[in-house]
Amino acid sequence: MSRENFWTSLPRPFVALAPMEDVTDTVFREVIMNISAPGALHVVFSEFTSTDGLCHEKGREKVIERLLVNPSERKLLKQKGIRLVAQIWGTDPEAFYRSARMITRNMDFDGLDINMGCPVKKIVKQGACAALIKQPVLAREIIQATLEGTDLPVSVKTRIGFDRIQTEEWMANLLETGISALSVHGRIQKADSEGPVHWEEIARAVRMKNEINPRVVMMGNGDVMNLEEAHERSEETGTDGIMIGRGVFHNPWIFNPVQKERTPGERTDLLLQHTRLFSDTWQDRKNFDILKRFFKIYVNGFYGAARLRAMLMEARYAEEVEKIISDMLRKEG
Protein backbone atom coordinates (compact mmCIF):
# COMPACT_ATOMS: atom_id res chain seq x y z
CA MET A 1 0.00 0.00 0.00
CA SER A 2 1.40 3.40 -1.00
CA ARG A 3 1.88 6.10 1.57
CA GLU A 4 0.34 9.54 1.24
CA ASN A 5 1.48 11.52 -1.78
CA PHE A 6 2.01 14.73 0.16
CA TRP A 7 2.72 16.71 -3.03
CA THR A 8 -0.97 16.74 -3.93
CA SER A 9 -2.03 18.21 -0.57
CA LEU A 10 0.36 21.18 -0.53
CA PRO A 11 -1.11 24.70 -0.89
CA ARG A 12 -0.76 26.42 -4.24
CA PRO A 13 1.66 27.92 -4.85
CA PHE A 14 3.94 26.18 -2.37
CA VAL A 15 7.60 27.03 -1.72
CA ALA A 16 10.51 24.61 -1.33
CA LEU A 17 14.11 25.05 -0.19
CA ALA A 18 16.27 23.45 -2.90
CA PRO A 19 18.76 20.70 -2.09
CA MET A 20 22.31 22.10 -2.11
CA GLU A 21 25.62 20.34 -1.58
CA ASP A 22 27.38 21.19 1.71
CA VAL A 23 24.47 23.51 2.50
CA THR A 24 21.14 21.82 3.23
CA ASP A 25 22.20 19.48 6.01
CA THR A 26 20.05 19.03 9.12
CA VAL A 27 21.76 22.04 10.75
CA PHE A 28 21.06 24.58 8.00
CA ARG A 29 17.52 23.30 7.47
CA GLU A 30 16.80 23.82 11.17
CA VAL A 31 18.31 27.32 11.18
CA ILE A 32 16.21 28.36 8.18
CA MET A 33 12.99 26.77 9.43
CA ASN A 34 13.44 28.50 12.79
CA ILE A 35 13.34 31.95 11.19
CA SER A 36 10.72 31.17 8.52
CA ALA A 37 7.20 32.48 8.92
CA PRO A 38 4.51 29.84 9.58
CA GLY A 39 3.10 28.60 6.29
CA ALA A 40 5.77 30.30 4.14
CA LEU A 41 8.01 27.25 3.58
CA HIS A 42 6.49 23.88 2.73
CA VAL A 43 9.21 21.43 1.61
CA VAL A 44 12.91 20.98 2.40
CA PHE A 45 15.43 18.55 0.93
CA SER A 46 18.54 16.75 2.15
CA GLU A 47 21.92 17.19 0.53
CA PHE A 48 22.27 14.93 -2.51
CA THR A 49 23.32 11.46 -1.40
CA SER A 50 25.15 8.84 -3.46
CA THR A 51 23.25 5.61 -4.07
CA ASP A 52 26.57 3.83 -4.66
CA GLY A 53 27.74 5.09 -1.27
CA LEU A 54 24.57 3.95 0.46
CA CYS A 55 25.01 0.48 -1.04
CA HIS A 56 28.71 0.24 -0.18
CA GLU A 57 29.34 -1.64 3.05
CA LYS A 58 32.38 0.41 4.06
CA GLY A 59 31.31 3.78 2.67
CA ARG A 60 27.74 3.71 3.94
CA GLU A 61 28.50 4.97 7.45
CA LYS A 62 29.90 8.27 6.18
CA VAL A 63 27.46 8.78 3.32
CA ILE A 64 24.38 8.09 5.42
CA GLU A 65 25.17 11.10 7.62
CA ARG A 66 23.95 13.26 4.75
CA LEU A 67 20.49 11.97 5.64
CA LEU A 68 20.79 12.76 9.35
CA VAL A 69 17.79 14.50 10.91
CA ASN A 70 18.38 16.01 14.35
CA PRO A 71 15.58 15.49 16.91
CA SER A 72 15.27 19.29 17.17
CA GLU A 73 14.79 19.51 13.39
CA ARG A 74 12.25 16.70 13.47
CA LYS A 75 10.28 18.62 16.09
CA LEU A 76 10.32 21.77 13.92
CA LEU A 77 9.17 19.86 10.84
CA LYS A 78 6.13 18.62 12.74
CA GLN A 79 5.38 21.96 14.38
CA LYS A 80 5.48 23.86 11.08
CA GLY A 81 3.99 21.14 8.88
CA ILE A 82 7.03 21.13 6.59
CA ARG A 83 7.78 18.04 4.49
CA LEU A 84 11.27 16.52 4.25
CA VAL A 85 12.53 14.80 1.09
CA ALA A 86 15.73 12.75 0.70
CA GLN A 87 17.60 13.43 -2.54
CA ILE A 88 19.68 10.65 -4.11
CA TRP A 89 21.95 10.44 -7.14
CA GLY A 90 23.88 7.86 -9.15
CA THR A 91 23.83 5.82 -12.36
CA ASP A 92 22.98 2.23 -11.35
CA PRO A 93 19.26 1.36 -11.24
CA GLU A 94 19.93 -1.52 -8.82
CA ALA A 95 21.65 0.88 -6.41
CA PHE A 96 18.64 3.20 -6.63
CA TYR A 97 16.32 0.30 -5.83
CA ARG A 98 18.38 -0.77 -2.81
CA SER A 99 18.84 2.80 -1.57
CA ALA A 100 15.13 3.53 -1.90
CA ARG A 101 14.30 0.42 0.13
CA MET A 102 16.86 1.30 2.79
CA ILE A 103 15.67 4.89 3.20
CA THR A 104 12.00 3.90 3.19
CA ARG A 105 12.40 1.15 5.77
CA ASN A 106 14.87 2.80 8.13
CA MET A 107 14.32 6.56 7.96
CA ASP A 108 11.41 8.94 8.33
CA PHE A 109 11.29 10.91 5.08
CA ASP A 110 8.16 12.09 3.28
CA GLY A 111 9.50 11.48 -0.22
CA LEU A 112 12.47 10.60 -2.42
CA ASP A 113 13.94 12.89 -5.05
CA ILE A 114 16.25 11.83 -7.89
CA ASN A 115 18.91 14.34 -8.91
CA MET A 116 18.99 14.66 -12.69
CA GLY A 117 20.10 18.28 -12.73
CA CYS A 118 23.38 18.87 -10.89
CA PRO A 119 25.73 20.47 -13.47
CA VAL A 120 29.04 19.95 -11.60
CA LYS A 121 31.60 18.57 -14.06
CA LYS A 122 33.09 15.86 -11.83
CA ILE A 123 29.59 14.45 -11.28
CA VAL A 124 28.58 14.78 -14.93
CA LYS A 125 31.75 12.94 -15.97
CA GLN A 126 30.47 9.94 -14.02
CA GLY A 127 27.34 9.95 -16.18
CA ALA A 128 25.17 11.05 -13.25
CA CYS A 129 22.76 13.89 -12.49
CA ALA A 130 22.53 16.32 -15.47
CA ALA A 131 24.36 13.77 -17.66
CA LEU A 132 21.24 11.60 -17.47
CA ILE A 133 19.55 14.11 -19.78
CA LYS A 134 21.72 12.53 -22.50
CA GLN A 135 20.65 9.03 -21.42
CA PRO A 136 16.83 9.05 -21.40
CA VAL A 137 16.50 5.26 -21.34
CA LEU A 138 18.76 4.94 -18.30
CA ALA A 139 16.92 7.82 -16.64
CA ARG A 140 13.62 5.96 -16.98
CA GLU A 141 15.19 2.75 -15.67
CA ILE A 142 16.45 4.64 -12.63
CA ILE A 143 13.01 6.11 -11.97
CA GLN A 144 11.36 2.72 -12.34
CA ALA A 145 13.86 1.05 -10.00
CA THR A 146 13.32 3.76 -7.39
CA LEU A 147 9.54 3.41 -7.64
CA GLU A 148 9.86 -0.34 -7.13
CA GLY A 149 12.00 0.19 -4.02
CA THR A 150 9.67 2.57 -2.18
CA ASP A 151 6.08 3.41 -1.42
CA LEU A 152 7.02 7.05 -0.89
CA PRO A 153 6.26 9.61 -3.61
CA VAL A 154 9.20 9.92 -6.01
CA SER A 155 10.17 13.23 -7.61
CA VAL A 156 12.88 14.35 -10.04
CA LYS A 157 14.92 17.57 -10.08
CA THR A 158 16.31 18.42 -13.50
CA ARG A 159 17.15 21.06 -16.12
CA ILE A 160 15.77 22.05 -19.53
CA GLY A 161 18.63 20.40 -21.41
CA PHE A 162 22.29 19.42 -21.43
CA ASP A 163 24.23 21.40 -24.05
CA ARG A 164 21.10 22.83 -25.70
CA ILE A 165 17.46 23.37 -24.77
CA GLN A 166 15.69 20.01 -24.95
CA THR A 167 12.50 20.75 -23.04
CA GLU A 168 10.09 18.87 -25.31
CA GLU A 169 11.86 15.53 -25.63
CA TRP A 170 13.36 15.44 -22.14
CA MET A 171 10.24 16.44 -20.21
CA ALA A 172 8.13 14.01 -22.19
CA ASN A 173 10.55 11.25 -21.22
CA LEU A 174 10.11 12.06 -17.52
CA LEU A 175 6.39 12.79 -17.54
CA GLU A 176 5.62 9.37 -19.01
CA THR A 177 6.98 7.67 -15.87
CA GLY A 178 5.27 7.30 -12.49
CA ILE A 179 6.88 10.27 -10.75
CA SER A 180 4.74 12.38 -8.41
CA ALA A 181 6.56 15.69 -8.82
CA LEU A 182 9.06 17.36 -11.13
CA SER A 183 11.19 20.44 -10.45
CA VAL A 184 12.69 22.18 -13.46
CA HIS A 185 15.65 24.56 -13.35
CA GLY A 186 15.40 26.93 -16.30
CA ARG A 187 18.97 26.54 -17.54
CA ILE A 188 20.88 23.86 -19.43
CA GLN A 189 23.77 21.96 -17.82
CA LYS A 190 26.34 23.89 -19.83
CA ALA A 191 25.12 27.19 -18.35
CA ASP A 192 25.53 25.98 -14.76
CA SER A 193 24.25 28.93 -12.69
CA GLU A 194 25.12 31.65 -15.21
CA GLY A 195 23.05 33.53 -17.76
CA PRO A 196 19.29 33.96 -18.02
CA VAL A 197 16.75 31.57 -16.54
CA HIS A 198 14.39 30.42 -19.30
CA TRP A 199 11.06 30.65 -17.50
CA GLU A 200 9.28 30.32 -20.84
CA GLU A 201 10.71 26.79 -21.06
CA ILE A 202 9.44 26.01 -17.57
CA ALA A 203 6.00 27.21 -18.74
CA ARG A 204 6.36 24.91 -21.76
CA ALA A 205 7.11 21.99 -19.43
CA VAL A 206 3.95 22.79 -17.46
CA ARG A 207 1.84 22.77 -20.63
CA MET A 208 3.34 19.41 -21.56
CA LYS A 209 2.55 18.08 -18.10
CA ASN A 210 -1.07 19.16 -18.48
CA GLU A 211 -1.29 17.13 -21.70
CA ILE A 212 0.81 14.08 -20.81
CA ASN A 213 0.34 13.55 -17.07
CA PRO A 214 -1.75 16.19 -15.24
CA ARG A 215 -1.23 14.47 -11.88
CA VAL A 216 2.47 15.40 -11.75
CA VAL A 217 3.14 18.35 -9.43
CA MET A 218 5.43 20.91 -11.11
CA MET A 219 8.01 23.26 -9.60
CA GLY A 220 10.05 26.00 -11.25
CA ASN A 221 13.55 26.91 -10.11
CA GLY A 222 16.15 29.54 -10.94
CA ASP A 223 17.36 32.74 -9.24
CA VAL A 224 14.16 33.49 -7.31
CA MET A 225 15.08 36.03 -4.62
CA ASN A 226 11.91 36.53 -2.55
CA LEU A 227 8.44 35.13 -1.89
CA GLU A 228 6.73 37.81 -3.96
CA GLU A 229 8.79 36.81 -6.99
CA ALA A 230 8.11 33.14 -6.25
CA HIS A 231 4.36 33.73 -6.42
CA GLU A 232 4.70 35.84 -9.57
CA ARG A 233 6.79 33.18 -11.33
CA SER A 234 4.35 30.46 -10.35
CA GLU A 235 1.42 32.46 -11.68
CA GLU A 236 3.08 33.33 -15.00
CA THR A 237 4.31 29.79 -15.71
CA GLY A 238 1.49 27.75 -14.18
CA THR A 239 3.72 25.77 -11.82
CA ASP A 240 2.28 24.37 -8.61
CA GLY A 241 5.24 25.62 -6.62
CA ILE A 242 8.62 27.32 -6.70
CA MET A 243 11.95 26.02 -5.45
CA ILE A 244 14.37 28.56 -3.96
CA GLY A 245 18.08 27.79 -3.78
CA ARG A 246 20.76 30.47 -3.92
CA GLY A 247 18.25 33.15 -2.95
CA VAL A 248 18.68 32.01 0.64
CA PHE A 249 22.37 33.05 0.45
CA HIS A 250 21.31 36.63 -0.23
CA ASN A 251 18.72 36.61 2.53
CA PRO A 252 18.37 33.83 5.14
CA TRP A 253 15.02 35.38 6.15
CA ILE A 254 13.72 34.90 2.61
CA PHE A 255 10.84 32.70 3.78
CA ASN A 256 8.97 35.60 5.35
CA PRO A 257 6.22 37.50 3.50
CA VAL A 258 7.07 40.77 5.26
CA GLN A 259 10.70 41.76 4.81
CA LYS A 260 12.61 44.21 7.00
CA GLU A 261 16.19 45.35 7.45
CA ARG A 262 18.02 43.01 9.81
CA THR A 263 20.28 44.50 12.47
CA PRO A 264 23.92 43.46 12.89
CA GLY A 265 22.86 41.87 16.19
CA GLU A 266 20.21 39.74 14.50
CA ARG A 267 22.71 38.65 11.88
CA THR A 268 25.46 37.71 14.32
CA ASP A 269 22.94 35.96 16.59
CA LEU A 270 21.89 33.78 13.66
CA LEU A 271 25.51 33.04 12.83
CA LEU A 272 26.13 31.98 16.43
CA GLN A 273 23.05 29.73 16.41
CA HIS A 274 24.25 28.07 13.21
CA THR A 275 27.81 27.70 14.50
CA ARG A 276 26.78 26.15 17.83
CA LEU A 277 24.35 23.74 16.19
CA PHE A 278 26.94 22.77 13.58
CA SER A 279 29.53 22.11 16.28
CA ASP A 280 27.12 20.15 18.50
CA THR A 281 25.81 18.07 15.59
CA TRP A 282 28.98 17.27 13.66
CA GLN A 283 31.76 17.72 16.24
CA ASP A 284 34.84 16.47 14.37
CA ARG A 285 32.91 14.49 11.74
CA LYS A 286 32.66 17.49 9.39
CA ASN A 287 35.38 19.95 8.49
CA PHE A 288 34.75 23.24 10.29
CA ASP A 289 35.73 25.11 7.11
CA ILE A 290 32.42 24.02 5.54
CA LEU A 291 30.74 26.45 7.93
CA LYS A 292 32.76 29.38 6.63
CA ARG A 293 30.78 29.64 3.41
CA PHE A 294 27.88 30.84 5.57
CA PHE A 295 29.78 33.72 7.17
CA LYS A 296 29.15 36.00 4.19
CA ILE A 297 25.43 35.16 4.35
CA TYR A 298 25.10 36.42 7.90
CA VAL A 299 27.87 39.02 8.14
CA ASN A 300 27.17 41.58 5.44
CA GLY A 301 25.33 44.82 4.86
CA PHE A 302 26.55 46.68 7.95
CA TYR A 303 29.52 48.81 8.94
CA GLY A 304 32.53 46.66 9.80
CA ALA A 305 31.08 43.50 8.23
CA ALA A 306 34.04 42.92 5.88
CA ARG A 307 36.56 43.23 8.71
CA LEU A 308 34.53 40.93 10.96
CA ARG A 309 34.24 38.37 8.15
CA ALA A 310 37.99 38.41 7.62
CA MET A 311 38.53 37.66 11.31
CA LEU A 312 35.91 34.91 11.32
CA MET A 313 37.57 33.22 8.33
CA GLU A 314 40.60 32.59 10.55
CA ALA A 315 38.53 30.75 13.19
CA ARG A 316 39.10 27.01 13.56
CA TYR A 317 36.27 26.05 15.90
CA ALA A 318 32.99 27.34 17.34
CA GLU A 319 34.49 28.84 20.50
CA GLU A 320 36.73 31.09 18.42
CA VAL A 321 33.74 32.35 16.45
CA GLU A 322 31.92 33.17 19.69
CA LYS A 323 34.94 35.00 21.10
CA ILE A 324 35.47 37.07 17.94
CA ILE A 325 31.82 38.17 17.92
CA SER A 326 31.66 38.86 21.67
CA ASP A 327 34.86 40.92 21.46
CA MET A 328 33.36 42.94 18.62
CA LEU A 329 30.12 43.56 20.52
CA ARG A 330 32.02 44.57 23.64
CA LYS A 331 34.10 47.12 21.69
CA GLU A 332 30.98 48.55 20.06
CA GLY A 333 29.09 48.61 23.35
Same domain membership, residue 328 and residue 193: no
How many whole angstroms separate alpha carbon 152 and alpha carbon 200? 31
Average pLDDT over residues 21-40: 97
Instruction: Give the pLDDT of residue 98.
Output: 98
Q: Which of 52-61, 105-114, 274-283 has the lowest mean pLDDT?
A: 52-61
Instruction: Give the pLDDT of residue 1.
Output: 42
How many whole angstroms separate alpha carbon 107 and alpha carbon 126? 27
Same domain membership, residue 136 and residue 10: yes
Q: Is residue 18 part of a domain?
A: yes
What is the overall mean pLDDT for the chain?
Answer: 95
Q: Is residue 1 part of a domain?
A: no
Segments forming the whole domain that contains residue 63: 6-250
Same domain membership, residue 48 and residue 193: yes
Q: Is residue 213 part of a domain?
A: yes
Q: Is residue 259 part of a domain?
A: no
pLDDT tens-digit series, residues 150-180: 999 999 999 999 999 999 999 999 999 999 9
How does residue 2 score in pLDDT terms, banded at 50, 70 and 90?
low
In the chain, how many domains are there? 2
Instruction: Give the pLDDT of residue 223.
Output: 95
Residue 118 a catalytic site member? yes
State the catalytic residue, choosing from 84, 118, 142, 277. 118
> CA distances (Å), 162 to each of 86, 116, 118, 183, 288, in order?
24, 10, 11, 16, 34
Average pLDDT over residues 108-124: 97
**CATH code, domain carrying 85:** 3.20.20.70
Same domain membership, residue 163 and residue 188: yes
The secondary structure of residue 80, as a DSSP letter, is: H
